[in-house]
Amino acid sequence: MAVEPVLVAGAWRNAHAESTFRAENPATGAVLEGDFPVSEWPDCDDALTAAAAAAKELRAVPAEALADFLELYAKKIEENSTALVERAHAETGLPIVPRLRDAELPRTVTQLRQGAAAAREGSWAHAIIDTKANIRSHFAPIGPVVILGPNNFPFAFNGVSGGDMTAVIATGCPVIAKAHPLHPGTSKLLAECAVAALAEAGLPPATVQMLYHIGNQDGLRLVADPRVGATSFTGSRGGGLALKAAADKAGKPIYLEMSSLNPVVLLPGALAERGEQLATELVDSCLAAAGQMCTSPNLILTIAGEDTERLAADLAGMLQKRPPSPLLSAGGLSGLHQSVRALVEAGAEVVTGAERAGGEGYRYKNTLLRVTAAQFLAAPERLQREAFGNATMLVIADDAAQLQQAIAALEGNLTGSVYSSTTGADDGLYTTIAAELRFKVGRLLDDKVPTGVALSPAMDHGGPYPSTGHPGFTAVGIPASLIRFGALQCYDNVRPHRLPAALQDRSPNPAMWRQIDGAWVRG
């Protein structure tokens, strides 16, 4: 059987590849159709050259055409949704309903359409005009962007169709997507939609390129290449830090989403008031996508007492009762087990689970661990190892002061939730706890699980290191996520007819917000 071609320089062409791989159905272990190439450097090199040329061409392309492309792409994804959902289901084991068909695919096309709207509006570029000094600036496309997508969202975070890709295109940058090797067939179908949409919108064909897989060394070389403008990566901490080191050394911006335990703090009043309801909410959140979400709650912090013991029992009971969903891969299963074992070796007690589950495919028993806050404080680094999957850990403090200490010992996270009494009984403690937690997380939640990252302009899907590489950026939330792919460009005394349209005295676009002499104005 022929090896699948890669999408380079505007065409599907044979890969420079010495090896191939196949996708697997993680729910059954069955090997799926299609031989996909592991590209060697020449594919990366060609993609970079084509992307650099496309970046130049794109400078002359109106934002309207970018928006048209994003919308056409969304439409084509919808038109091909049956095939997409089927293949993604086979490659990931994620349920078609409610997940792939009813949640992730709609989210993906919504993102694309939000990106189109942002490109049309143009406000993302923060045009600033100082009429007195005749100095003007805005954000312009940073250049070709490499996107290394994660394993856990075959559509919504896919390098060739997800939120990063949407943001990159909306700013006018070309994309080199490295699809995740766990869902190559899905990525192929998506890229086919993209190719058709590019042609229809009249964009340079190399605006979107895709490789299925590359070696680690080529990944490090890719993100540091002089032709690259920036890189976006979503994945493991190990992979992210290696790429960061390579990009940093070359002076190339890299945006990373690496790991997060998403601590959830349950204050005593909330536990007393609605402990069982909280247990259900937490179990739902922990088991969503078998816990393979960036914002899955991996740490639940409480103060010792009867309510906490009841919570532990409730959680354990529910976790035992629910059948474990398949994990994304054999590697994911062994990684999860290794992490759980490492947590146990660091002192965590197994309440339930902590071993491979029976049945077809790659499944792990829904797992609950527990440690005391004293243990946690004694080995904060070892006990903050991410166990990516359907496992979570209770951290039980002796008292409020120790709870606060445990929170102070947290690494940077994407999210942190605090549940408190509805009567105000926890308000004093909330203030202390939230003040501590605030600087450990990007998004602080009240009475809400962290899974479910709304597509809101106010969203922050980012956070302090090591959850990301810089606390000032978000990967979700349009238009804020676009700024990552902008370079600040200033025009000083440039003659009016030479200014970009967005910086001329008369706005070319009545929808665009611009800051003129200190005031935000539109039109």
List active site positions: 257, 294
Question: Between β-strands 513-516 and 127-130, what pairing exists: parallel, antiparallel or unpaired?
Answer: parallel
| Touching a second copy, residues 85-114 (CB under 8 A) | none
Q: Does 238 bind a second copy (CB under 8 A)?
A: no
Q: Does 506 bind a second copy (CB under 8 A)?
A: no
Q: Does 146 bind a second copy (CB under 8 A)?
A: no
- Among 135, 196, 378, 425, which residue interacts with a second copy (rule: CB under 8 A)? 135
- Among 262, 430, 482, 502, which residue interacts with a second copy (rule: CB under 8 A)? 430
Q: Which stretch binds a second copy (CB under 8 A): 192-200, 349-357, 369-377, 446-454?
A: 446-454
Q: Which stretch binds a second copy (CB under 8 A): 11-19, 23-31, 334-342, 431-439?
A: 431-439
- The nearer residue to a second copy, 292 or 451, going by C-beta atoms, is 451
Give the shortest CB-410-to-a second copy separation in angstroms.
13
Binding mask 53-72 for a second copy (x = CB under 8 A): ------x-------------
Residue 13 and residue 5 in contact, taking contact as beta carbons nearer than 8 Å = yes
Q: Nearest 5 degrees, angle CA 211-CA 215-CA 207?
A: 25
- Among 474, 482, 509, 512, which residue interacts with a second copy (rule: CB under 8 A)? 474
Question: What is the residue-wise DSSP string for 352-373?
Answer: E--SB--SSSSBB--EEEEEEH
307-331 burial, b for 16+ CB within 10 Å, e for fewer?
Answer: bbeebbebbbebbeeeebbbbbbee
Q: What is the dihedral of CA 239, 264, 436, 260, to 10 degrees?
A: 0
For a second copy (CB under 8 A), the number of binding residues is: 70
Q: Does 349 bind a second copy (CB under 8 A)?
A: no
Nearest to 186 by CA among 163, 159, 167: 159
**What does the radius of gyration of the chain's CA atoms come to, in whole angstroms?**
24
Q: What is the spatial distance between Cα 121 and Cα 502, in angstroms, rounded to a whole number?
A: 11
Q: Does 515 bind a second copy (CB under 8 A)?
A: yes
Q: Which stretch binds a second copy (CB under 8 A): 31-39, 145-153, 199-207, 479-487?
A: 479-487
- Among 84, 100, 119, 128, which residue interacts with a second copy (rule: CB under 8 A)? 128
Give the DSSP H/E element, type plus range, for residue 489: strand 486-492
Distances (CA, A) of 89 to 96, 332, 410: 6, 17, 35
**Tokens for 427?**
């308000």
- The nearer residue to a second copy, 42 or 523, going by C-beta atoms, is 523
Q: Does 41 bind a second copy (CB under 8 A)?
A: no
Q: Does 1 bind a second copy (CB under 8 A)?
A: no
Q: Does 425 bind a second copy (CB under 8 A)?
A: no
Residue 131 and residue 505 in contact, taking contact as beta carbons nearer than 8 Å = yes
Give the shortest CB-299-to-a second copy separation in angstroms.
18
Q: Does 84 bind a second copy (CB under 8 A)?
A: no
Binding mask 250-279 for a second copy (x = CB under 8 A): -xxx--------------------------
Q: Which stretch binds a second copy (CB under 8 A): 23-31, 209-217, 339-347, 466-474?
A: 466-474
The 10 Å Cβ neighbour count of residue 260 is 29
Q: Does 439 bind a second copy (CB under 8 A)?
A: yes
**Tokens for 19?**
């090896």
Q: What is the dihedral of CA 489, 495, 499, 505, to 10 degrees?
A: 110
Name the percent of the chain in helix, strand, coil, to the closest 5: 45, 20, 35
- Among 145, 397, 483, 502, which residue interacts with a second copy (rule: CB under 8 A)? 483
- Among 133, 313, 330, 401, which residue interacts with a second copy (rule: CB under 8 A)? 133
Give the shortest CB-229-to-a second copy separation in angstroms.
9
Q: What is the spatial distance between Cα 363 and Cα 389, in angstroms, rounded to a whole number?
A: 10
Q: Which stretch binds a second copy (CB under 8 A): 203-211, 249-257, 271-279, 346-354?
A: 249-257
Q: Does 490 bind a second copy (CB under 8 A)?
A: yes
Distances (CA, A) of 34 to 29, 108, 184, 218, 261: 15, 24, 9, 23, 35
Q: Nearest 5 degrees, angle CA 486-CA 479-CA 228?
A: 25
Question: Between β-strands 486-492 and 441-446, what pairing exists: parallel, antiparallel or unpaired?
Answer: unpaired
Q: Does 510 bind a second copy (CB under 8 A)?
A: no
- The nearer residue to a second copy, 17 or 258, going by C-beta atoms, is 258
- The nearer residue to a second copy, 132 or 321, going by C-beta atoms, is 132
Q: Does 465 bind a second copy (CB under 8 A)?
A: yes
Distances (CA, A) of 415 to 177, 436, 446, 453, 460: 27, 13, 11, 10, 9
- The nearer residue to a second copy, 13 or 59, going by C-beta atoms, is 59
Residue 455 and residue 114 in contact, taking contact as beta carbons nearer than 8 Å = yes
Q: Does 473 bind a second copy (CB under 8 A)?
A: yes
The residues that touch a second copy, with contacts defined as CB under 8 A, are: 59, 128-130, 133, 135-137, 139-140, 142-143, 244-245, 248-249, 251-253, 415, 430-431, 434-435, 438-439, 442-448, 454, 456-460, 462, 464-466, 469-474, 477, 480, 483-484, 486-495, 498, 513, 515, 518-520, 522
